[in-house]
Amino acid sequence: METNERIVSRKIRDDLRRYGWTVLSTVYHNVAFIHTLGLHWSYQHPDFEVLGLPEALGTALLNELAQRVKNGQRVRSGDLLEDVAEDVALWVTANPLDPEGTPLLNGRLRIIWPDNDGRYPWDADCEPCSRTQLLFPDSTMPNREELEAQALSQFALPT
């Protein structure tokens, strides 16, 4: 009988061969952390990540963006995507704490979604559930704990 680890490894390998990317999901601070793997290798484009969306929605969103990359579209930090999710504008950033600041995500681009009132995590009155997008789930992130502490203290995000 095949272990879960072998099944997942085979699916990742099959996805990379078939599509040029795969989408992975895990839980971090009780929120979904969903990201692509393979866009950099297959299409010389940064991979994407999203936090806090339901897994099915986040996976569909990232697959849509990855397909656009495969079709030749380039997505850059600072882009506002208004044609991906119905009635929602998505920000693309390499630095969720300061969208115009130095990239912090090890080459990935984070897709930032607004709260129910159209506010983004860096807006002072943004809903707490949307502020989870300021976290850094990648354990290879330099100074991850320090950056998270800054975000958590700045916006009083419950831990």
Which two structure tokens, joined as six digits, stand for 10? 């085979």
Asked if residue 2 is part of any domain, the answer here is no
Q: What is the mean pLDDT of the chain?
A: 82
In which band, very low, low, confident or very high, does the pLDDT at 143 lie, cut at 50, 70 and 90? low
Asked if residue 1 is part of any domain, the answer here is no
Higher per-residue confidence, 21 vs 1: 21
Asked if residue 12 is part of any domain, the answer here is no
Percent of the chain topping pLDDT 70: 84
In which band, very low, low, confident or very high, does the pLDDT at 8 lie, cut at 50, 70 and 90? confident
- How is residue 150 annotated by DSSP? H
Closest by Cα among 54, 130, 136, 145 to 90: 130
Q: Which pTM does this prediction carry?
A: 0.82
Q: What is the pLDDT of residue 53?
A: 92
Number of domains in the chain: 1
Asked if residue 8 is part of any domain, the answer here is no
Q: Which residues pair with 85 in a beta bridge?
A: 88
Asked if residue 7 is part of any domain, the answer here is no
Reported as half-sphere exposure (CB side, CA atoms, 13 A), residue 159 has a value of 8
Asked if residue 26 is part of any domain, the answer here is yes
Q: How far is CA 77 from the centre of its chain?
A: 12
Residue 98: its H or E element: none
Give the residue-averaged pLDDT of 125-134: 87
Asked if residue 61 is part of any domain, the answer here is yes
Q: What is the pLDDT of residue 95?
A: 78
Backbone angles phi, psi at 85, to 5 degrees: -115, 135
Asked if residue 9 is part of any domain, the answer here is no
Range with lowest mean pLDDT among 104-113, 128-137, 140-149: 140-149
Q: What is the largest CA-CA distance in the chain?
A: 52
Percent of the chain topping pLDDT 90: 40
For 137, the domain range is 17-155
Do 87 and 97 touch, CB atoms closer than 8 A? Answer: no
CA distance 38 to 55: 19
Do 28 and 137 touch, CB atoms closer than 8 A? Answer: yes
Give the residue-averaged pLDDT of 17-22: 90
Cβ-proximal residues to 79 (8 Å cutoff; 6+ apart), any chain? 91, 92
Q: What is the pLDDT of residue 83?
A: 92
Given a cut of 60, is residue 60 above it in pLDDT?
yes
Give the residue-averaged pLDDT of 71-88: 92
